[in-house]
Amino acid sequence: MIDHIFVCGYPSNLGGANTELWHTVKLWRRFDLDVTLIPTWRADTQWRIKLEKIGCRTAPSNPDDLQNVPGLAGSVVVSMCNTKFLVAAEHFRRLQCKIVWLGCMNWLFPKERLHYRRFGVFDRHVFQSRYQHDQLTPQLRRFGYEDDQGHIIRGAFDVDEFPFRPLPHRPGERFTIGRISRPEADKYSPRTWEIYGRVPHPISAKVLGWADEVRARLGPAPRWAECMTAGSRTPREFLATLHAMVHANGQAVENWPRVGLEAMAAGVPVVAENRGGWREMIQHGRTGYLCDTDEKFAYYTARLAYDEEHRMAITQNARAALENELAPPETIWNQWRRVFERGKEESGRGNPEIRLPPSPFPLPPSP
């Protein structure tokens, strides 16, 4: 019976994986799973304090001294999209740890491929969307992955961190649209300013995640746009200034975009592209809008701008869908519980299955 796991990685304020890790650890603690985190390879003091307040431990972190971490050998280790973990993964293998890997991308990291060539895939693989699952499993099968090693689990999300406070929009007032992204050019459509400029309603625009490489992709910001560097505002502060999130990607295809969950929680309707994980997150016309063309981005954004009653209905539907369908804590906990229950050594060395204490919630049926 297992009641304790290790996490290789540490939360932070930036990056979808780092924020998801915080929400996931909080969810595990809510259901009384003991968690020890191994930072890679430095623990931020503020985050250490936050983790201690919810009952987590932080282990000394040194990839060359993992054998001296109490209880680590033979334990369950979870890591989320952490390239530094991939570099050190063989150390965890030597300690016969059972590894659960959650990569947030729709492709394999070079370090990930290198590890699989040498050691095979990890014991369990967690995917956040059906789209990501379908993209990655053909790649993983080349390294010996079998279908029963994979689970689709939506990202944990604590809605209480984003109070539902839609920004009112009055007739004749400028409609404020914008987006949040990491400061990477591939996250942005090179037509972003053109798409925003096509909206047939007076607008202002805000972008959080601006950098030189983004400017090189998009061009200089128009006079009606404000661009802010990553970390200059918290997502909650930024979303409080938007009437709608209008999110057109570049080459990068979203897996399970947390910025969408944050917007839905805060009461900001989302207008996004009709591909990738957006298609599984948004119900078109009910909880947001999905767009195939620049013209549709402009049309649906304008609809939100001209019809305040409809915009408010979208925000309310989105918040309800987030709480009841996309990120209900009991459902996500039970899915993680199944991962731990069915965990076994990747090489089939015959170790007994990992087991957790009984849960008061019924397990969902197998996919």
The CATH number of the domain holding residue 8 is 3.40.50.2000
pLDDT for 363: 28
Question: Could you tell me if 218 and 318 lie in one domain?
Answer: yes
Kindly give the residue spans of alpha helices, DSSP state H, lying in 251-355: 258-266, 278-281, 294-306, 308-321, 329-342
Q: Which residues of the chain have pLDDT under 70?
A: 1, 342-367
Total-model pTM = 0.91
CA-based nearest residue to 31, from 171, 182, 117, 156: 156
Whether residue 219 sits in one domain with residue 285: yes
Q: What is the pLDDT of residues 105-129, one digit of tens each?
A: 999 999 999 999 999 999 999 999 9
Strands of 1-147 (E only): list them: 4-8, 34-38, 57-58, 76-80, 98-102, 124-127
Strand extents, DSSP E, 56-149: 57-58, 76-80, 98-102, 124-127
Q: So what's the pLDDT on residue 272? A: 98
Residue 177 lies in a domain: yes
Rounded to 5 degrees, what are φ and ψ at 178?
Answer: 175, -170
The whole domain housing 164 covers 160-326
Whether 308 and 338 map to the same domain: the answer is no
- For tokens 């390294």, name the residue: 143
C-beta atoms surrounding 250 within 10 Å: 18
367 exposure class (CB count in 10 Å sphere: 0-12, 13-18, 19+)? exposed
Helices (H), 11-80: 16-30, 45-53
3-state SS assignment for residue 206:
strand
Quickly tell me which residue has 């997502």 as its tokens: 235
